[in-house]
Amino acid sequence: LLLLLFSRRRREGEPPLIKGWIPFLGKALEFRNDSYKFLQQLQKCHGDVFTVLIAGKYMTFVMNPLLYPAVIKQGKQLDFHKFSDAAASTTFGFPAVNTGKFPGLSDKIQRSFLLLQGSALNTLTLKMIGNLQLVLQQDFLSSNAVGRKCDWRQEDLYEFCERVMFEATFLTLYGRPPQTKMDVHTQLHRESWIDALLDNFRKFDAIFPLLIAKIPIVLLGRIKSIREQLIRFFHPHRMAEWTNPSEFIQARTELLNQYDTLQDLDKSAHHFAILWASVGNTVPACFWCLYHLLSSPKAFSVVREEIMGMFGEKEPETMTMRQDRLTREQLEKLIYLESAINESLRLSSVSMNIRVVQEDFCLRLNSRCSVYVRKGDLVTLYPQSTHLDPEIYPDPQQYQFDRFVENGKMKTEFYKGNQKVHYYHMPFGSGATMCPGRFFALNELKLFFCITLLMCDMQLTAGQQHATMDKSRAGLGIMPPANHISFRYRVKKCLQRQ
Ligand code: HEM
């Protein structure tokens, strides 16, 4: 097989082929070190479309966003679920969904995603407001915590975003495990169940890129047992006792129960996968948005003014925001905040859109460009090259919080040369595989900023280095920071008392 893989030669009409000299691995190491730089160099030498051998897979990269529509709309010969289904089942430990064993399950799962939109999104948004306030008040602002309520507290910025978003998202989607039973079961005292869950989640997430790359879990030390603990956390018997789960999670529980061929722990693994999907990218996204805002006084003041203008200066006095005071329509009107979030996502997203070629065929990209691709190869879009394209976004490495605002509205027209770019902002993927949680994610981020900016005063700690991105997670969503960033915060009403 190795010989077969390595002996592949480029056929006429196929894109340039780059195999490297290491059998099987091909160019995997260069790709992993800094995928953006690596692909930029290849684009310079070989043009907008080329095929690279990466860890046993031939990946045809389409680098020009003006060619994306042909790939995204080509549903028949480019399958969009095969790759992610296979990756999800090995990573999270449930049996592959698209087999004869579970007829109709894949479609039902897709339909369940509708419960992250429309009127169900309103309910999720309201719950999220309450939970964000609860988490902030209980864990960070209570007088029982270390120090007095009005003192400045110093903390790692990523850990702050992680703790708040992880707990608030968990409570919003899954509901609350009963305290007494949890205490008896896990020997943990009151709030510790969420800390223990987060601790395991962190360890699992650190190894996530290796699992996605199909490194067998048995080779990854303690991760197998950590994943088992995470899966067991979602055992149906336990979940049955959690109060106030979202419609989305209830519907998924019901649909998984329709399949006798699924064991209890398979169902748990599906729930665990959703936990990862719902926080794995939202936490680093939250970090970058907050970091960029705190680093840019102009952005901070415009966004803060916009939020204050919407909800009023008096709000921090009461330290709570009544849920009926914050509607989805109001969130939609916060265009500077939305632009600031979009800008941070543009700079930090490294997701890839992958399609599996179903048969040898000629992929017509536009009237001047067609390439032959082979069955089993992966056709890949790499949106980071669009996000950092100076023709589309002048000074692409610069953070410009209002880049997505034009004439008082969200800017939706971007050009490359004189051609309009349809897919100019793709942190949530594209077409049929686009993230079903994107509306909820955007609302969660907006709520996080509304509530923290209303409740807290925040500053980056002076004299530290800029945050840099951990580039080793290429292809997997939002990059986490590579270094620690510390900040300080205090309850806002203390300002007024002093
Ligand atoms: C899939 C990004 C938040 C649920 C995806 C994909 C991306 C993505 C890039 C893959 C799309 C593709 O294959 O083309 C993000 C980002 C988020 C975020 C950047 C936050 C900033 C969320 C949230 C949820 C969620 C809050 C809520 C439950 C999912 C699910 C999938 C997915 C279930 C898999 C869909 C499928 O299998 O068809 N996300 N996501 N995501 N996301 Fe998100």
Which pLDDT tens digits describe the chain residue by residue (498 residues)?
Answer: 555 555 788 999 999 999 988 887 888 889 888 889 999 999 999 999 999 999 889 999 999 999 999 999 887 899 888 778 888 999 999 999 988 899 999 999 999 999 999 999 999 999 999 999 888 887 665 544 455 667 888 999 999 999 999 999 999 999 999 875 444 444 444 468 999 999 999 999 999 888 887 788 888 888 999 999 999 999 999 999 999 999 999 999 999 999 999 999 999 999 999 999 999 999 999 999 999 999 999 999 999 999 988 887 655 444 455 555 677 788 899 999 999 999 999 999 999 999 999 999 999 999 888 999 999 999 999 999 999 999 999 999 999 999 999 999 999 999 999 999 999 999 999 888 899 999 999 999 999 999 899 888 999 999 999 999 988 787 789 999 999 999 999 877 654 444
Atom of ligand 1 nearest to the CA of 273: 33
Q: What is the pLDDT of residue 320?
A: 54
**CB-based contact 228:222 (threshold 8 Å):** no
Reported ipTM: 0.99
Query: Is the CB of 427 inside a 6 Å radius of any atom of ligand 1?
Result: yes
DSSP string across 409-476: EE----EETTEEPS----TT--GGGS-TTHHHHHHHHHHHHHHHHHHEEEEEPTT-PPP-B-GGGTBS
Cα(497) to centroid of ligand 1, in Å?
43
Collapsed DSSP state (helix, strand, coil) of residue 124: helix
The C-alpha atoms of residue 3 and residue 398 are separated, in whole angstroms, by 46
DSSP assignment of 199-254 equals HHHHHHHHHHHHHHTT--GGGSTTHHHHHHHHHHHT-HHHHTT-BS--HHHHHHHH
Model's pTM, two decimal places? Answer: 0.93
Mutation to probe ligand 1, out of 106, 110, 170, 428 (largest number of atoms < 8 A from CB):
428
Centre of ligand 1 from the C-alpha of residue 312, in Å:
33
384 lines ligand 1 (CB under 6 A): no
Name the token pair of 287.
């970090």
pLDDT of 429 reads: 92
Q: What pLDDT sits at residue 140?
A: 61
Q: Ligand 1: which of 435, 438, 446 to mutate, most ligand atoms within 8 Å of CB? A: 435
So what's the pLDDT on residue 498? 40
Residue 141's pLDDT is what?
54
479 CB within 6 A, ligand 1: no
CB atoms within 10 A of CB 333: 12
Ligand 1 mean position, distance from CA 375 (Å): 27
Question: Looking at beta carbons, which pairs linking 8-15 to residues 24 or more positions away fall under 8 Å?
Answer: 8/53, 8/58, 10/51, 11/372, 12/372, 13/362, 13/370, 13/371, 13/372, 14/51, 14/371, 14/372, 14/373, 14/374, 15/46, 15/49, 15/50, 15/51, 15/60, 15/371, 15/373
Pocket lining: 109 vs ligand 1, CB cutoff 6 Å: no
The H or E element containing residue 357 is strand 353-357
Q: Specify the ligand 1 atom closest to the Cα of 442.
A: 21
Query: What SS3 class is residue 62?
Result: strand
Give the pLDDT confidence score for residue 321 in this predicted structure: 55
